[in-house]
């Protein structure tokens, strides 16, 4: 039986499915793998099921010239923690889990949009602190979403699911900036220029993949282009945003607020962000629902099964 390493405990259903086909070892820790663990995994397992935080960079592959491992079946759609070119050069296939995460992550984007625009976290903190003195007409006035414009940066699977929710659910107009034009089932204005989009919208949502190409795509110049009442939401990857520049924009009131599910140096969240009222901070829960995590894991197992049956895995990247 082929030896497979799961780099985190996964839902029972996923572990049981993997055990039906493979000799499975489950790494007990919930933290990211160390370099030596990754090197050991490439040397001693036929396949590894890694996830966010397991930094399989070029140097790790270089340490194992003849890896026993032939496939990294990533648990998650985002794979910017894996140097795919280096993996390929080492003869290792990489797969991911697209689709399974789309609706759940879009739902968390809407959670952040609503919480930031309607000042929900601020209000919740007030209640918990015993500081609420009762309803009055000018208390915690936020931004109503109906009739406003959402701007999506990266109109892929998740970007489109967010746009659909904003448009059909909240009557928002949709604008977007993406690498290639899209045919969409609702009206949407495409902007070739990111700064023009940033200046035109009331909510700017980031949904591009992480990686070198999108590193600090959202920087101080984008915050300067945004309207002072506009909100920024990031459900993509932390380093797509220049976090320091975001702190400055929020402190200076250059933008109205922000909602974040991901952070540049995750799990480290800057004290300056934590100190601000006009930002909502979630702990990377985009896909955190049992059935979604089960579907993601079963996709990873399917990718492994197809690969070892000599077929093309359904989700090669």
- Identify residues 260-279 at the interface with ligand NAP (CB under 6 A): 261-262
Binding flag, residue 192, ligand NAP (CB under 6 A): no
Binding flag, residue 213, ligand NAP (CB under 6 A): yes
Chosen residue from 155, 222, 230, 305 binding ligand NAP by CB under 6 A: 155
Binding flag, residue 236, ligand NAP (CB under 6 A): yes
284 included as an active-site residue? yes
- Residue by residue, DSSP assigns 138-174 as TTT-----TT-EEEEES-SHHHHHHHHIIIIIH--EE
Binding flag, residue 295, ligand NAP (CB under 6 A): no
Residue number, 4 or 116, with CB nearest to ligand NAP = 116
Residue number, 85 or 251, with CB nearest to ligand NAP = 85
Catalytic residue among 81, 284, 293, 295: 284
8 included as an active-site residue? no
User: What 3-state DSSP class applies to 206?
Assistant: strand
How far is residue 285's CA from residue 309's CA, in Å, rounded to a whole number? 34
How far is residue 81's CA from residue 70's CA, in Å, rounded to a whole number? 17
How far is residue 36's CA from residue 143's CA, in Å, rounded to a whole number? 49
CB of 236 to ligand NAP, least distance (A): 5
Residue number, 70 or 157, with CB nearest to ligand NAP = 157
The candidate with the shortest Cα–Cα distance to 231, out of 253, 207, 208, 210, is 253
Contact (Cβ atoms closer than 8 angstroms) between residue 284 and residue 266: yes
CB of 157 to ligand NAP, least distance (A): 4
Please choose, out of 139-147, 164-172, 242-250, 282-290, the segment that lies near ligand NAP by the rule CB under 6 A.
Answer: 282-290
- C-alpha distances in Å from residue 13, one per residue of 31, 152, 181, 236, 300: 21, 35, 39, 27, 12
CB of 201 to ligand NAP, least distance (A): 15
| CB-nearest residue to ligand NAP | 156
- Identify residues 56-115 at the interface with ligand NAP (CB under 6 A): 77-78, 98, 101-102, 105
Residue number, 211 or 270, with CB nearest to ligand NAP = 211
Which value, to the nearest 10 degrees, does the dihedral of the CA atoms of residues 265, 267, 271, 274 take? 120
Catalytic residue among 119, 165, 237, 293: 237
Contact (Cβ atoms closer than 8 angstroms) between residue 259 and residue 112: yes
- C-alpha distances in Å from residue 208, one per residue of 37, 146, 238, 300: 30, 25, 11, 22
Binding flag, residue 235, ligand NAP (CB under 6 A): yes
Would you state the structure tokens that stand for residue 241, as one six-digit string?
């945003």
How far is residue 41's CA from residue 46's CA, in Å, rounded to a whole number? 9
Residue number, 5 or 77, with CB nearest to ligand NAP = 77
Would you state the structure tokens that stand for residue 146, as one six-digit string?
């109906």
Chosen residue from 67, 151, 156, 257 binding ligand NAP by CB under 6 A: 156
266 included as an active-site residue? yes
Q: What is the total count of residues that contact ligand NAP (CB under 6 A)?
A: 30
Residue 107 host element (H or E):
helix 102-117
Residue number, 173 or 178, with CB nearest to ligand NAP = 178
**Per-residue mark of binding to ligand NAP, 105-134 (x: CB under 6 A):** x-----------------------------
Binding site for ligand NAP (CB under 6 A): 77-78, 98, 101-102, 105, 154-159, 177-180, 207-210, 213-214, 235-237, 261-262, 284, 286-287
């Amino acid at each position: 039986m082929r030896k497979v390493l799961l780099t985190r405990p996964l839902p029972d259903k996923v572990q049981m499915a993997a055990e039906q086909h493979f000799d499975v070892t489950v790494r007990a820790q919930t933290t990211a793998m160390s370099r030596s663990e990754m090197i050991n995994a490439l040397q001693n397992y036929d396949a590894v099921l890694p996830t966010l935080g397991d930094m399989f960079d070029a140097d790790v592959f270089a340490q194992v010239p003849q890896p026993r491992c032939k496939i990294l079946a990533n648990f998650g759609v985002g794979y910017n923690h894996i140097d795919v070119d280096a993996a390929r050069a080492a003869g290792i296939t990489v797969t991911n889990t697209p689709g399974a995460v789309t609706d759940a992550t879009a739902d968390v984007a809407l959670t952040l949009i609503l919480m930031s625009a309607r000042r929900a976290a601020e209000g919740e903190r007030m209640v918990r602190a015993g500081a609420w003195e009762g309803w009055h007409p000018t208390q915690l006035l936020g931004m109503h979403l109906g009739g406003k414009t959402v701007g999506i940066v990266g109109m892929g699977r998740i970007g489109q699911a967010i746009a659909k929710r904003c448009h059909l659910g909240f009557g928002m107009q949709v604008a977007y900036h993406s690498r290639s034009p899209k045919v969409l089932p609702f009206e949407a204005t495409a902007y070739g220029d990111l700064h023009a989009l940033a200046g035109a919208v009331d909510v700017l949502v980031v949904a591009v993949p992480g990686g070198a190409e999108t590193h600090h795509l959202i920087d101080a110049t984008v915050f300067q282009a945004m309207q002072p009442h506009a909100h920024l939401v990031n459900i993509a990857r932390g380093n797509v945003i220049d976090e320091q520049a975001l702190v400055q924009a929020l402190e200076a009131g250059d933008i109205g607020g922000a909602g974040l599910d991901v952070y540049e140096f995750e799990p480290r969240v800057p004290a300056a962000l934590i100190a601000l009222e006009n930002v909502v901070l979630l702990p990377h829960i985009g896909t955190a629902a049992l059935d979604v995590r089960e579907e993601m894991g079963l996709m990873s197992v399917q990718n492994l099964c197809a690969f070892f049956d000599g077929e093309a895995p359904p989700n090669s990247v």
